[in-house]
Amino acid sequence: MAIYIVKRLAAAVATILVIMAITFFLMNTIPGSPFLTEKSTPQQIELANQKYGLDKPLIVQFKNYIVNYAHGDLGVSLKMQEGTPVKKILFGQGKFVLSIKLGVCALLVAICLGIPLGCLAAYKRGTWIDGLLRVLTTVGVAIPTFVLASTLLVAFAVKLNWLPTLSGSLDSWKAYIMPVISLSFYDVCYIAKLTRTSMLDAINQDYIRTAKAKGVKNKWIVLKHALRNSLIPVITFLGPLAAFIITGSFVVETIFSVPGLGKYFIQSVINRDYTIIMATTVVVSVLVIVMNLVVDIAYKIVDPRITLSSTDE
């Protein structure tokens, strides 16, 4: 186990290096410079380039990034808030914190609602509850986040006036409701579908029949025997879910005017603020990679039969 984790961490570091290289290459191919404005003279641009080390050869610049990141130094913003350390921008003023708050809430809702709904559908298989949930989840995975989010906005904020239109920096609990619902709806539906399928799969297994024969109550069969064994596909989905939730949060942040990471990233790309682009990409990659690792370890805990050393199926 320990060896496995060490191996995976080494792979993660390598992955992050590759991602940094890709990001670095891509952002330097964007035409233009962070210092190019209507007023700036070539001398000013040159001076600014010298100041932030952008006049050096690309390979040296890339090396500097790696060395600085290894020391935990994310550099300073080049344009959007010139001179401010990126760390302070991303973590200090809440950009990242807001996105993470939304993301974690949505993740919790997705798990705490999706799995029970899936169980309920499997438990009540063939009844109207199952049918209703099936229709709901099938439609749910087809609704794009932005359509759902704007429908909610129109219905609850504009027409009914129950909830605030702008969620802003998520000051009250009311501001959370719509962004979290829109962010987690797809995942609730997907997890419920997944749980139902794998639960029905598990119910047909021999050990369930044995449990029934022993006289275990139906409820306990579902909750104890079937659920644990049907969780593996659900856990597999939770890894990509971290990425999904960040994806969705870009749109949700736009619609509910939350000054989160997503919006900031797009702005930084448009402004060619190299250090912020790099820092955001690396922070999100680390998050995704760590989530994947946690998921793989969670597998092992749920199903001890899974061997972690081989990644082949």
Partner 1 sequence: MKQAFAKFSPFQVDPEKVWADYELNYSDFEPATDAEKESVSEVRQSVSYWRDAARRFRKNTVSMVALFVFLAILVFAFLGPLLIPYDYANQYRSSQKLGPFEYSKQEALIKSIEGEVDCMFATALQPGSVTALDPGDYYFKYKGDTYSFSLDAKLADSVIVLKDGDLSIVKQSDISNGQIKKSTPLEYTSEVPDGAKQLKVESKVFPHVVGTDSQGRDILARTMYGARVSIIIGIVAALIVLIIGSIYGAISGLCGGTVDFVMMRIVELIYSVPEVLIVLLLQVVLKDPLQAWFDSSNSWFANALSTLGAGIVSIFITFGLLYWVTLARIVRGQVLMLKKQEFVTAATALGASNGRIIRRHLLPNCVGQLVITTCLQIPAAIFLESFLSFLGLGVSAPMASLGSLCSDALGTLTLYPYRLLFPGAILTIIVLSLNLVGDGLRDALDPRLKK
Which residues contribute to the site for partner 1 (CB under 8 A)? Answer: 12, 15, 18-19, 22-23, 26-27, 29-31, 138-139, 141-147, 150-151, 153-154, 158, 165, 197, 200-201, 204, 243, 246-247, 250-251, 254-255, 265-266, 269-270, 277, 280-281, 284-285, 287-289, 292, 311-313
Which CB, 51 or 125, lies closer to partner 1?
125
CB of 200 to partner 1, least distance (A): 6
CB of 43 to partner 1, least distance (A): 25
Q: In the bound complex, what is the minimum distance in angstroms from residue 153's beta carbon to partner 1?
A: 7
Tokens 């597999």 locate to 236
Polymer length of the chain: 313
Of 109 and 200, which CB lies nearer to partner 1 in the complex structure?
200
Q: Are 20 and 277 in contact (CB under 8 A)?
A: no
Q: Which is nearer to partner 1, 175 or 287 (CB)?
A: 287
Q: Which is nearest to 130 in space by CA: 139, 120, 140?
A: 120
Q: Distance between CA 8 and CA 14 in Å, rounded? A: 10
Q: Which is nearer to partner 1, 78 or 277 (CB)?
A: 277
Shortest distance, position 47 Cβ to partner 1, whole Å: 26
Cβ–Cβ under 8 Å, residues 183 and 246: no
Q: Where does residue 127 rank: exposed (0-12), middle (13-18), buried (19+ CB within 10 A)? A: exposed
Min CB(12)–partner 1 separation in Å: 8
Q: Closest CB to partner 1 among 111 and 269?
A: 269
Burial 44-77 (b: 16+ CB within 10 A, else e): ebeebbeebebeeeeeebbeebeeebeeeebbbb
Nearest distance, CB of residue 150 and partner 1, angstroms = 5
- Please say whether the beta carbons of 146 and 251 come within 8 A: yes
**Closer residue to partner 1 (CB): 98 or 284:** 284
Distance CA 134, CA 117 (A): 10
Tokens of 73: 């130094």
Phi, then psi, of 76 in degrees rounded to 5: -115, 155
19's tokens: 């991602």
Q: Which residue is it, tokens 């060490």?
A: 6
Query: 76 has which bridge partners?
Result: 85
Q: How far is the CB of 234 from partner 1 (least distance, A)?
A: 17
Question: Among residues 17 and 112, whose Cβ is nearest to partner 1?
Answer: 17
* 76: three-class secondary structure by DSSP: strand
Q: Residue 241 corresponds to which amino acid?
A: L
The smaller minimum CB distance to partner 1, of residues 223 and 270, is found at 270
Task: Find the shortest distance in angstroms from Cβ 201 to partner 1.
Answer: 7
